[in-house]
A and B are shown apart, each in its own frame.
Chain A
Amino acid sequence: MHRYANPTRFLKIARVATPIVALLGLALTAAGLWIGLFASPPDYQQGDSVRIMYVHVPAAWLGAGGYMSLAIASATALIWRHPLATIAARAIAPAGAAFTAICLVSGALWGKPTWGTYWVWDARLTSMLVLLFLYLGYLALSASEADKGGEARASAILALVGVINLPIIKYSVEWWNTLHQGSSISVVNASSRIAPALLTPLLLSVAGFSFLFAAIVLMRMRAMLAQQRVDARSRRLAEALA
């Protein structure tokens, strides 16, 4: 890992990887959503509204998974001071926040026909809303730290403290009586209670959304590294002129 913490080496790889990852993401997402909309059968209970699952579930997984990545990058920045770790964390946060927002909005739209309400202060929904607030808090704090030119310590600590919300999200449907259904897919046991005709487009969408998330993070990291180079040159020039 230390080898790739070198920004020059990282940029060399990122320049090649970005278009490949973005195109894979677009292709897999298009395939997953197309099959989900037009080729997969309706659910025997929910009817056609189950098709919202193909956007809601991948967005939820990436919202929560993105936060885990944000926390790992923040821990790496705090412990090993990798030059790329803070940049990675700052690149992950807006993408994670956007995917969490997509999850909440698509979930509300799925809730209306299924539960009869857009929103309820249920444990799963509330903990996902808390996740969005954690992302927004991280974004505000890291923007303020970046403006002051200081180290990203406070935002990294906030990211680590917020990890406590991830098991709450995961087990909220078991610990409390909730309107939200329990998990249908177990990554640990590699098992699923979803019929293959519905599972195929869901997995395609999950893969597509994951590649799109990675492409967004890579592009943001490249943008921030380029901005750092500009700032460093401006500082050197100002020092030389002084």
Chain B
Amino acid sequence: MDGVVTRPDLWASFIWPAYALTLVGLIGLLLWAFLSMRSAEKKAEESRRK
């Protein structure tokens, strides 16, 4: 087996749940930061025009 890379079983050893939770957390955080930034900058632009 030395040097041979086998395809891992993602369900075994909790690998898949760990990756899924991490990615959900990271993407959720990125989306929240992006949407809150976009909405706040839009509001600031509207208030500047008034």
- A residues within 8 Å of B by Cβ? 22, 29, 33, 37-42, 47-49, 51-52, 55-56, 59, 94-95, 98, 101-102, 105-106, 109-110, 112-113, 209, 212, 215-216, 219-220, 222-224, 226-227, 229-230, 233-234
A33–B8 CA distance with the chains assembled, in angstroms: 13
Report whether over half of chain A's contact residues are helix, strand or loop; otherwise say mixed.
helix
Docked-complex contact B8 and A48, CB < 8 angstroms: yes
Count of residues in B whose CB is under 8 Å from the partner chain: 31
Docked-complex contact B14 and A233, CB < 8 angstroms: no
| 18 additional contacts (CB under 8 A) given A37-B8, A48-B8, A106-B22 | A37-B15, A41-B5, A42-B6, A48-B13, A52-B18, A52-B19, A56-B18, A95-B29, A98-B29, A101-B25, A105-B22, A109-B21, A110-B14, A216-B29, A223-B36, A223-B39, A226-B41, A230-B40
A102–B14 CA distance with the chains assembled, in angstroms: 14
Give the distance to chain B from A101, nearest Cβ to Cβ, in Å. 7
Q: Per a CB cutoff under 8 Å, which of A41, A216, A227 touches B40?
A: A227
Known: A212-B26, A226-B43, A226-B44. A37 touches B14 (CB 8 A): no
Residue of A47, A94, A98, A106 with most chain B CB atoms under a 10 A cut-off: A106
A48–B36 CA distance with the chains assembled, in angstroms: 38
Residues of B within 8 A of A222 (CB): 37, 40-41
Name the residue of chain B whose CB is nearest to the CB of A111.
B14
Give the distance to chain A from B29, nearest Cβ to Cβ, in Å. 5
A165–B47 CA distance with the chains assembled, in angstroms: 43
Residue of B8, B18, B21, B44 with most chain A CB atoms under a 10 A cut-off: B18
Docked-complex contact A98 and B25, CB < 8 angstroms: yes
Docked-complex contact A37 and B30, CB < 8 angstroms: no
A and B contact pairs by CB, cutoff 8 A, 30 listed: A40-B5, A42-B6, A48-B8, A48-B9, A48-B12, A49-B12, A49-B15, A51-B13, A52-B18, A55-B18, A55-B19, A94-B29, A98-B29, A102-B21, A102-B22, A106-B22, A109-B21, A110-B18, A216-B29, A219-B36, A223-B40, A223-B41, A226-B37, A226-B41, A227-B40, A227-B43, A229-B44, A229-B48, A233-B48, A234-B47
